[in-house]
Structure 1
Amino acid sequence: MNDAEPDPSSVSDRVLDFGTGLLPKIEAPAESLSLKKKLSWSGIILVVYLILGEIPIYGMAEQAQDYFSFVKAVLASESGTLITLGIGPLVTAGIFMQLFQGADIFHFDLYSHEGRARFQGSQKLLAVFLCFFEAALYVFMGAFGEFGLGREIFLIMQVGFGALLIVLMDEIVTKWGFGSGISLFIVGGVAKDIFWKLFSFQASSAHGGQYIGAFPGLIQSLLKGSPLWIRADLPDMVQVFFTVLIFMLAVYFETLWVEVPLSSGRFRGIRGGYPLKFIYASVIPVILTMSVFGTFGLIVRTIESRFPTGILGTFDARGNAIGGIMYYLTPPRGILRVIDDPYRALIYLVIVVVFCAFFAVLWIDITGMNSKTVAQRIQHAGVQVAGFKRDIRVIESVLNRHIPQVTILGGIAVGILASVANFTSALGTGTGILLAVSITYRMYQDLRKDPELPENIGRILM
C-alpha cells in the first residue's frame, strides 16, 4: 500500500482547473480575423462599456460617495453606475498574480501553452472573486447609503455583475478585437471625461447656470460681455491650455529612448541595438502609486468612521480630505489652491515622486525587465554588445550603466508630470492623460505594423 502524500502542486492544479471550469468562457475565433473585424469588435465593446457607464445602480441613495476618485482614470470607473469598480478587479488580480509568480508562491510554466492557460485561468478566477469582494467592501462602507442587509446584498450583486461584465468584455477584446480591453476602457473613459468637460452644454445650478463645458462656458460668458478664462470648480480655458501642454509633454517623453548597440555573435557585420525607453517602466509606477493612495484612503475612512482621531484624515460632506495624513496624499487641484497652500502641494509632489521611483524599480524586478534578466534574453538570442566579446557578464555590466538610471529617472519624470497635471486641474487628470497617451501610442505602433493596414492609411500613420 502506498501511503505517500499527494503532490500539493497537483492538488492545487486540480482545484484551479475545477474553479476555472465553472467560469463563463469566451471562445477564441477558429481562424485569424481581419483587421477590419478586430476594429469592429473593439468598437462594439467600447460602445457597450460607455453605455454601462450611464446605467445607475438601482436602489442606492441619490448621491453616491466616490471612494475611488483617486484612481478613477486608472480604473476606468464611474461611481454609482454598473462600472463603479471599472477594471479594478482585473488590475488587482493581475498585480497579485505577478507577485505570486515572482515570489514563487505559485509556479506556472509560462513557456508552455498549458502553463500560460492555467495562469490566465487562475487570474480570471481571482478577478471574478474580486468583483464581488470589492463590491461588498464598497457597499458595506456606505458608499451608496446605509441600508438593511437585504438591500445591501442587492446592491452588491449589481456592482459585482457590472464588474464581471468588464472582465468578460476584456476577454472578448483580447481574443476578438484589437489590443486589450483594459487599455480600451482606460482610453475610452479618459476621452469621455475630457470630451464632456470640453463641450458639455449642461447648466450647473450650483454655479449660476454656467455651462459645465469649457468651450460652451466661454461662449456663454462672451455673449454676456464678461469673458471668464478662469472658473472656480468648473472646467475653463486655462485648464484646456494645460491639458494640451501636458499631452504634448507626455508624447515627448513617450518617444524618448536610448539604444544599447548590439551585434550578431554568429554573423559578422550584422549590427543592431536594444532600445530602452526613457519611461522604461511605462506609467505603471503612477498606477501603483495612485492605487496605494486610493486603498489607503479607503482604509482611513473605515478607521476614522469608527475611531475618529483626525490623525489619519478628516473629510467634508462631499468626501474630500480636509485634514490629517490623507490631506497631503490628495493634490490641491487648481493653480489658485496651489498658491493658497504651497506646502501641501510640495509635500504631495515629493511623496508621489518617491513612490513612483520606488515602484519603477520594483516593477522592473518583478516583471523581468532588470539588467540581469534582459542580459540573459540577449545572450539566448545569440547577440552581444558591439565591441565586446560574447559574455553575459559584459552584457549585464553594460546594461547596468543604463537600465537602473533610466528606470529611476523615468519614474521621477512620470511622477512630476502627473502631479503638475493634477495641480493645474488638467482635464482628464494627469494620470489619465499619461495613461491615454501611453496606450494610444502603443496601439498606434501596433497598427502601423499590421500587414492588413491599407497602404494609403499606412503612409499617413508613418
Structure 2
Amino acid sequence: MAGVLQHMMKPFLGLVPEIKTSQKKVPLREKVIYTMITLFVFLVCSQLPLYGIHSTTGVDPFYWMRAILASSRGTVMELGIGPIVTSGLVMQLLTGSKIIQVNKEDQALLNATQKLLGIVIAIGQAMLYVLSGMYGPVSQLGYGLGSGISLFIATNLCESVIWKAFSPVTFRGRFGMEFEGAVISLFHNLITKSSIRQAFFRQNLPNVTNLLATVLIFLILNYFQGFRVVLPVKSKNSRGGGSSNYPIKLFYTSNMPIILQSALVSNLYFISQLLYKNFSGNILVNLLGQWRDSVPVGGLAYLITSPSSFADMAAHPCHALFYIVFMLSACAFFSKTWIEISGSSAKDVAKQLKEQQLVMPGHRESNLEKELNRYIGTSAAFGGMCIGALTVLADLMGAIGSGTGILLAVSTIYQCFEAFDKEKTRELGYFGF
C-alpha cells in the first residue's frame, strides 16, 4: 500500500510546503523569537476579517468548539486547526489499523500526504461553510478565500480568558451599563456600590465565578501533570547495583487524543446540522441530531453536548448521564488508542528497553511487556477518564473557554516549560557550564 501511495503522491510532493531540519544547533533565544513571531501572526490572523463578510453577529453554530479548534468566527482563522486535525485523524486511523503500512523510510511521505490532505480538507470546508449559508446568502458575498497546533490552541484560550476578565467593552443590561470584563465589572460594582452578587452570577456576560472556575481547573490540571510512577531499570551488563529510574506519567495522555475527540464531535455537529437543514424529515437524520437556531435540541448531537449548568444537569438527568459516560469512555478510549499508534505502548517501550540492554530487576525479560502494560495501559485509561471528568466539571462550572480548551492550554503550556527547561539544560551543558 505504501508503494501505491508513493506513486500517487509523487506528482504532488512539490506542492506540499516542507521545512527542512536545521543542520546546525539552533540557540534557545532564536527558538523563542521564532515562536513569538508565529504566535503574533496567529493573533493578527484571528482579528483580520474575511473579505466579503458583511456580518457575523448571528448565532455561531461552532461557538463551543472555537477554543478547541483555535478558530475565530469571520476571520482568516475561521477554520482554525480543524483541517490539520482532521487530516491527522484520518492518517492515524489508516496507519493504526494497518490499512497503510509505513516504514521509517516512508515517514516523510506520510507527513507530506497528511499536509496535502489537510489542504484539500481546508478547501472543502471553506466551500461548505460558504455554500451552507453560514455567512449569509451566497449571492451577497464578496470574493474571498476563506503549525504550531497546540500553541495556537493555548494562545487562543489565554487570549479569551484575559479578554473576558479585563474587557472594557460595555453593554446595556438589566442593571444599566455593564462592562464585559468580569474583573472590571467587579470593581465597577464596588465603586458604584451596585450589587456585588451581580458581578459573580450574571448570566449573559462573563462573571467572577466563571473566572474563578477557570483558575481552579488550571491549578488542578497543572497539579495532575506531575503524577508519575518511577520504575527501576538496570543494564543487563551491569553487576551488582547501578540501577536507574524510568518515569511513567500516571496522568498519561497527550494533546492529540483530546484534539481528535474534539474534531470528531465538531465534524458530527457540522454534518448533522447540514443534513438536518436539508432533510429534517428523515428519521436517520433526526437520530443524528435535531437543531433549533444552530443549537442541538435532540438526537445524538444533543446527547453529546454538555449541560449548561448543574441546574440543567438536575433538570435533565438522562442527558447528563449520557454525556458524562460518553466523555469518560471517549477520553479513556482515545488516550489508550493513541499510545498504541504513537509508539508509546508497553510493547514499544519494552522494545526500546531491550535495544538499550535494560531490564527491570526482579522480572524476567520475557515478562517485561506484560509488566509495563500494568502501568502504561492503566495510566492511559486512568488519565483519559480524569481528563473527561475535569472537562465535564469545567463545563458545568462555566469555566471560560470550555473544559477541553483549558486542558489543551494547560498541557501545552506545561510541555512548553518542560521543553524550555530541557533546552536550557542542554545549552548549559553544551557551553560547558
By the TM > 0.5 criterion, same fold?
yes
Q: Deviations 1:36-95 (Å, cap 9, x if unpaired)?
A: 111111111111100101111222341265343343222111121110111111122222
Q: Which residue of 2 aligns with 1:370?
A: 345
Q: Deviations 1:307-334 (Å, cap 9, x if unpaired)?
A: 22454433333x2223333222211234
**1-structure distance, mates of 2:221, 2:113:** 35
**2-structure distance, mates of 1:311, 1:45:** 42
Q: Which sits farther off after the overlay, 272-281 or 188-197?
A: 272-281
Q: Which residue of 1 aligns with 2:86?
A: 92
Q: Per the alignment, in what secondary structure is the counterpart of residue 273 of structure 1?
A: strand
Q: Per the alignment, in what secondary structure is the counterpart of residue 294 of structure 1?
A: helix
| Change beyond 3 A, Cα 1:365–1:27 | closer
**2-structure distance, mates of 1:338, 1:223:** 36
How far has the Cα of 1:340 moved from its partner? 4.3
Q: Which residue of 2 aligns with 1:441?
A: 414
Q: Which residue of 2 aligns with 1:102?
A: 96
How far has the Cα of 1:409 moved from its partner? 1.3
Q: Under a length normalisation based on structure 2, what TM-score does the superposition of the two structures give?
A: 0.89
**Unaligned segments of structure 1, at least 5 residues:** 1-7, 160-169, 171-180, 456-462
Q: Deviations 1:166-194 (Å, cap 9, x if unpaired)?
A: xxxx2xxxxxxxxxx11221111111011
Q: Aligned AA for 2:229?
A: V
Q: Which residue of 2 aligns with 1:234?
A: 205
Q: Aligned AA for 1:432?
A: G
Contact 1:203 1:210 in 2 (8 A): yes
Contact 1:447 1:453 in 2 (8 A): no
**2-structure distance, mates of 1:330, 1:256:** 30
**2-structure distance, mates of 1:285, 1:29:** 29
**1-structure distance, mates of 2:170, 2:372:** 56
**2-structure distance, mates of 1:301, 1:399:** 44
Q: Deviations 1:367-411 (Å, cap 9, x if unpaired)?
A: 23222222122211210111234x2x3101211322222222111
How far has the Cα of 1:264 moved from its partner? 1.0
Match of residue 400, structure 1, among 339, 355, 373? 373
**1:349 aligns to 2:324 (yes or no):** yes
**1:275 aligns to 2:247 (yes or no):** yes
**1-structure distance, mates of 2:160, 2:381:** 31
**1:71 aligns to 2:65 (yes or no):** yes
Q: Which residue of 2 aligns with 1:164?
A: none
Q: Which residue of 2 aligns with 1:22?
A: 15
**1:387 aligns to 2:365 (yes or no):** no
Q: Aligned AA for 1:358?
A: F
Contact 1:93 1:130 in 2 (8 A): yes
Q: Which residue of 2 aligns with 1:426?
A: 399
**2-structure distance, mates of 1:308, 1:97:** 32
Q: Per the alignment, in what secondary structure is the counterpart of residue 201 of structure 2?
A: coil
Contact 1:285 1:357 in 2 (8 A): no
Q: Which residue of 1 aligns with 2:431?
A: none
| Change beyond 3 A, Cα 1:292–1:24 | closer
Matches for 1:179-198 after TM superposition, within 5 Å = 181-198=148-165
**2-structure distance, mates of 1:133, 1:151:** 18
How far has the Cα of 1:98 moved from its partner? 2.0
**Unaligned segments of structure 2, at least 5 residues:** 429-433
Q: Which residue of 2 aligns with 1:165?
A: none
Q: Which residue of 2 aligns with 1:214?
A: 182
Q: Per the alignment, in what secondary structure is the counterpart of residue 209 of structure 1?
A: strand
**2-structure distance, mates of 1:454, 1:377:** 26
Contact 1:338 1:345 in 2 (8 A): yes
Q: Deviations 1:85-114 (Å, cap 9, x if unpaired)?
A: 11111122222222222233333322x4xx
Contact 1:65 1:143 in 2 (8 A): no
| Change beyond 3 A, Cα 1:284–1:26 | closer
**1-structure distance, mates of 2:372, 2:391:** 28
Q: Per the alignment, in what secondary structure is the counterpart of residue 90 of structure 1?
A: helix
Contact 1:204 1:211 in 2 (8 A): yes
Count of aligned residue pairs for this structure pair: 418
Q: Which residue of 2 aligns with 1:46?
A: 39
| Change beyond 3 A, Cα 1:209–1:335 | farther
Q: Per the alignment, in what secondary structure is the counterpart of residue 450 of structure 1?
A: helix
Contact 1:70 1:290 in 2 (8 A): no
Q: Aligned AA for 2:370?
A: S
Q: Which residue of 2 aligns with 1:60?
A: 53
Q: Per the alignment, in what secondary structure is the counterpart of residue 401 of structure 1?
A: helix
| Change beyond 3 A, Cα 1:344–1:106 | closer
CA RMSD between the two structures: 2.4
Q: Which sits farther off after the overlay, 253-262 or 266-275?
A: 266-275
**2-structure distance, mates of 1:388, 1:358:** 29
Contact 1:261 1:272 in 2 (8 A): yes
**1-structure distance, mates of 2:172, 2:299:** 32
Q: Per the alignment, in what secondary structure is the counterpart of residue 53 of structure 1?
A: helix
Contact 2:81 2:149 in 1 (8 A): yes
How far has the Cα of 1:294 moved from its partner? 1.6
| Change beyond 3 A, Cα 1:13–1:314 | closer
Counting aligned pairs with the same residue, the percent is 32
Q: Which residue of 1 aligns with 2:280?
A: 308
Q: Per the alignment, in what secondary structure is the counterpart of residue 275 of structure 1?
A: strand
| Change beyond 3 A, Cα 1:47–1:261 | same
Contact 1:70 1:293 in 2 (8 A): no
**1:294 aligns to 2:261 (yes or no):** no
Contact 1:34 1:452 in 2 (8 A): no
| Change beyond 3 A, Cα 1:365–1:151 | same
